[in-house]
Amino acid sequence: MTYESFERILETVMACPTHEAQMALILAVKPLILAQMQRYCPVSSEYEDLFHDGCVVVLECLRRYDPKKGRFLNLIKNYLRYYYLETFRYLSVKTARETSKDGALERIADEADVTEGLFSEETGKALREALQRLTVREREVVLYYYRDGLSHKAIGERLGLAPRTVINAKARALKKLKTELM
């Protein structure tokens, strides 16, 4: 699909937001939804729900869209990224809490304990090994973010880094972990 044909679909939806027009828009951005979903929230057991949630995010962006503020594709890309990152964070914490037998997740002190009781032994071992192959900074950022639930700003303050540096380190670490574990 060309950008011009996408723009025509968007204009149609903006002028007359019928169900058919909205479905045409969803079909036009389906590859973007799937790419964002796989990049930022690679939880294969939840793909169907994640895709439907992505469709809802696109429709919400349609409601919020102001052509004077930028392109629609940029808006949905940013909203999808944020949504999937937050969903991945939520699913990671939820899974950890559900499988933790005595609520000890908050008291875990080292990387080896992070995976024990949370994943199968094989997955836990693979994750521990993958975490050890990260740089010290990347490992600290990932653990502070997912294990301790700290914000980018709080992690930056602990490590003496700018929040943007924390975000970049986390993105690099997740990319490495995804490559090794998938």
For 90-128, the pLDDT digits (tens) are 777 655 555 444 444 444 444 444 444 444 566 667 778
Q: Which two tokens stand for residue 106?
A: 């908050």
- Which of 19-23, 61-65, 100-104, 116-120 shows the lowest per-residue confidence on average (mean pLDDT)? 100-104
- Report the C-alpha gap between 141 and 150 in whole angstroms: 9
Single out the residue of 129, 159, 131, 125 nearest to residue 146, CA to CA.
131
Report pLDDT for 97. 54
Q: Which two tokens stand for residue 151?
A: 């914000």
pLDDT band at 170 (very low <50, low <70, confident <90, very high): very high
